[in-house]
Amino acid sequence: MSANSILLDFSLDPARIIDEVSRKDIVRVCKEGLEKYLTGLKISYDMLTTDGYLCILSETGTGTIVTIRFFEQGLITINVEYYRKDGDEAKISFENMKMLENGLRIRLEAKRSKHLPPIKRGSSVDVYLTSSDERVIEYDIDRVLFDKRSEFQKIQIVHSRSLGNMLVLDELQNIAEADLIYTETLMCRGKEDYAGKEICILGGGDGALLYELLKEGPKMVVMLEIDEIVMQACNKYMNTICGDVLEKRTDDNYEIIVGDCMVYLRKYIKEGRKFDYVFGDLTDIPISDTPTGEIWDFIRTILESSFQVLKPDGKFMTHGNGVSCPESLRMYEDQLAKLTPKVTYTKSSAFVPSFMEEWVFYQVQREVANATESV
């Protein structure tokens, strides 16, 4: 049940947009094309705009409204909008949209044309998520399994036909059942040796990183997650990626602490507790243009504190951003360059199914440690 916006557009000679006779003819052609699928279209309103012309058509007896716009640059856009109830046939099937587009392109002698699958609006299942570089992606989400707002964020677990269950935090895709590659790239499986190591995870509430690390025989993993509700949701719906670690919460070789990771990092610093690895599995690094915001401060604080609890040759492992956001990645690297003591870093990347993009991960360690290693 949603309002459907069917969007078509056609590029043609700008002269034909400005000329009134030609414009009337174009509206007539569009109307005739649309009337194969919509009954009794009539023009309800039209007006000249600063850069062209607008014409509103309505279908007799239904709420379907067609908006045709002419842009002086040589573009015509058509929006067909109607409310589609559950079980209703689409007014114009995808196959028919193709035919409508092709038919109009030929009749309008358009240089190019395009139609999009209908944009579904107001549906209880939200299928549109956004990539790191603000592209719209329609997911094959068919059910919402969990939907709650915690003290910290909006938490949803949805089901995608191709990705399995997927954790969505504040409208951002976090991890899906199909995303083992995410965890494996974050931890550099096969390259890093976790056997007998002491590890601290900052965040990681979905449990996937902890679950995979435990397979590598670490001495101890401490996970610091602030949001109890995320863990409850993942424990219930994401077992294939987190096993029983969120259910058990603690065992000989791991412990999950519900709390603010900064509080515990400070505690560990005071106690002199040290780790071989610290994982930053918190909020995504921000995309904003200038590294002045609260989130960047938070990220720098996390980095500095993490290095205070890392052994001299310890590593800070974290996710970065999409490769499509080079500015954001560069800004993160700028932050790394500012750290004292100096650090060096390597990068890994992988196409993460639920992100629908190639994602970059960082492995950061002290420069001194590297120098020592190379001796």
Site size for a second copy, by CB under 8 A?
67
Query: 40, 122, 312, 341: which one contacts a second copy (CB under 8 A)?
Result: 122
Q: Is 139 in the site for a second copy (CB under 8 A)?
A: yes
As a whole number of Å, the end-to-end CA separation of the chain is 66
261 backbone dihedrals φ, ψ, rounded to 5°? -60, -30
Residue 140: CB minimum distance to a second copy, A: 5
Asked whether position 296 contacts a second copy by CB under 8 A, the answer is no
By CB under 8 A, tell whether 11 contacts a second copy. Answer: yes
CA 204 to chain centre: 17
Residue 316 phi/psi, 5-degree rounding, is -100, 120
Indicate whether 293 belongs to the interface with a second copy (CB under 8 A).
no
Residue 178 near residue 204, CB atoms below 8 Å:
no
Question: Among 18, 29, 99, 119, which residue interacts with a second copy (rule: CB under 8 A)?
Answer: 119
> Near a second copy by CB under 8 A, which window of 35-43, 62-70, 205-213, 217-225?
62-70
Given a contact cutoff of 8 angstroms between Cβ atoms, the answer to whether 227 and 283 are in contact is no
Eight-class DSSP state of 146: E
Place of tokens 């719906």: 237
Candidate list 145, 214, 323, 368; residue touching a second copy; CB under 8 A: 323
Q: Which residues contact 40 (CB under 8 A, 6 or more apart)?
A: 59, 60, 61
Taken as a whole, the chain contains a residue count of: 375
Interface with a second copy includes 288 (CB under 8 A)?
A: yes
d(CA 239, CA 84): 36
Task: Determine the Cα–Cα distance for residues 345 and 272; give it in Å rounded to an integer.
Answer: 24
C-alpha 238/C-alpha 241 separation (Å) is: 6
Q: Give the pair of three-digit tokens for residue 202.
A: 């900052």
Give the contact letters, 153-192, x = binds to a second copy (CB under 8 A), - = no: --------xxx--------------x--------------
58 touches a second copy (CB under 8 A): yes
Active site residue 9: no
H/E stretch holding 356 = none
Q: Does 145 bind a second copy (CB under 8 A)?
A: no
- Residue 50 interacting with a second copy (CB under 8 A): yes
Pairing mode, if any, of strands 112-115 and 119-121? unpaired
φ, ψ for residue 129, nearest 5 deg: -125, 170
Tokens of residue 254, six digits: 């791991």
Least CB distance from residue 232 to a second copy, whole Å? 23
Which range of residues in 127-135, 210-218, 221-229, 309-317 is near a second copy by CB under 8 A? 127-135
117 binds a second copy (CB under 8 A): yes
Using the contact rule CB under 8 A, the part of the chain among 114-122, 234-242, 257-265, 339-347 near a second copy is 114-122
Distance of closest approach, residue 357 Cβ to a second copy, in angstroms:
5
Considering only residues 17, 26, 37, 69, which one is a binding residue for a second copy as defined by CB under 8 A? 69
HSE of 213 in the Cβ direction (CA atoms, 13 Å)? 29
**Least Å distance between CB 355 and a second copy?**
10
Strand duo 2-11 + 357-366: pairing: unpaired
**In a 3-state reduction of DSSP, which class is residue 357?**
strand
| Annotated catalytic residue within 281, 289, 297, 313 | 281
- DSSP class of residue 215 equals T
Nearer CB in complex with a second copy: 205/353: 353
To a second copy, the closest distance from the beta carbon of 228 in angstroms equals 24
Query: Which residues are catalytic, by number?
Result: 281
Where on the chain is the footprint of a second copy (CB under 8 A)? 1-3, 5, 7, 9, 11, 44-45, 47, 49-52, 54, 56, 58, 61-63, 65, 67, 69, 71, 73, 75, 77, 79, 81, 83, 85, 94-95, 112, 114, 116-117, 119, 121-122, 124, 126-128, 130-131, 133-140, 161-163, 178, 288, 322-324, 351, 353, 356-358
